């Protein structure tokens, strides 16, 4: 009968896998989760996706998850402080509630940027840039002797 993987059965298997993929030391992980180094090596060799562990973006994904967790914790703290400031009604102790609202707004914006729901940088309409307008005038001037080509280009870029 096949043995059950003690790491797969561990209650913290997801954190163990995350640390294995991120390159943490086997000895450190074994110590932190009270599993043997041999079990971790077997688990890594047999159960952790080689594609994931070899992927250069895997560490970025893991680090991104950590950043999101930290941002969530900061947002929760700001909300708790806002609640205390409102309940206290005394700006000497917690400061004005508006300062917490500003912080929460910034965090919501950052969260949306990280999730790709809004652009971190404003969108630029290249059709309104002075360089494009100048180039467009030059193209139209060059094509004036060729009315059919001029019409085709105008249709294509409008």
The string of pLDDT tens digits covering residues 76-122 is: 887 887 788 788 776 777 777 777 777 777 777 777 776 666 566 66
> Are 66 and 103 within one domain?
yes
Q: How far apart are the first and last CA of the chain?
A: 71
Is the domain of 130 the same as that of 95?
Answer: no
The verdict on residue 2 lying in a domain is no
Whether residues 68 and 95 share a domain: the answer is yes
- How many domains does the chain fold into? 3
Q: Which helix (H) or strand (E) holds 109?
A: helix 97-114
**The dihedral sign for the CA sequence 76, 82, 87, 93:** positive
Query: What pTM value is reported for the model?
Result: 0.35
Residues 45 and 73 in one domain: no
| 50 shares its domain with 62 | no
User: Which structural domain range is residue 106 located in?
Assistant: 56-114
Question: CB–CB of 52/21 below 8 Å?
Answer: yes
Same domain? For 104 and 145 the reply is no
Q: What is the 3-state secondary structure (H, E, C) of 60-104?
A: HHHHHHHHHHHHHHHHHHHHHHHHHHHHHCCHHHHCCHHHHHHHH
Reading phi first (left if > 0) and then psi (alpha if -120 to 50, else beta), residue 17 is in alpha
Residue 44 is inside which H or E element, if any?
A: helix 37-47
Check whether residue 136 and residue 152 sit in a common domain.
yes
For 117-157, what is each residue's pLDDT tens digit?
A: 656 666 677 777 888 888 888 888 888 998 898 888 888 87
pLDDT confidence of 8, banded at 50, 70, 90? confident
Clarify whether residues 104 and 142 are in a common domain. Answer: no
**Within a domain: 8:** no
109 with 70, same domain: the answer is yes
In a domain, 4, yes or no: no
């Amino acid at each position: 009968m096949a043995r059950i993987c003690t790491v797969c059965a561990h209650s913290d298997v997801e954190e163990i896998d995350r640390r294995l993929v991120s390159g943490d030391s086997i000895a450190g992980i074994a110590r932190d989760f009270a599993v043997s180094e041999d079990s971790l090596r077997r688990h890594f060799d047999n159960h952790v996706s080689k594609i994931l562990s070899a992927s250069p973006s895997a560490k970025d994904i893991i680090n991104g998850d950590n950043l999101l967790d930290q941002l969530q914790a900061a947002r929760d703290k700001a909300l708790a402080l806002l609640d205390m400031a409102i309940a206290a009604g005394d700006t000497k102790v917690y400061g004005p509630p508006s300062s917490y609202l500003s912080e929460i707004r910034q965090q919501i914006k950052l969260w949306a940027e990280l999730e790709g729901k809004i652009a971190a940088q404003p969108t630029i309409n290249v059709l309104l840039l002075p360089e494009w307008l100048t180039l467009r005038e030059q193209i139209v001037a060059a094509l004036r002797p060729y009315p059919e080509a001029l019409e085709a280009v105008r249709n294509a870029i409008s």
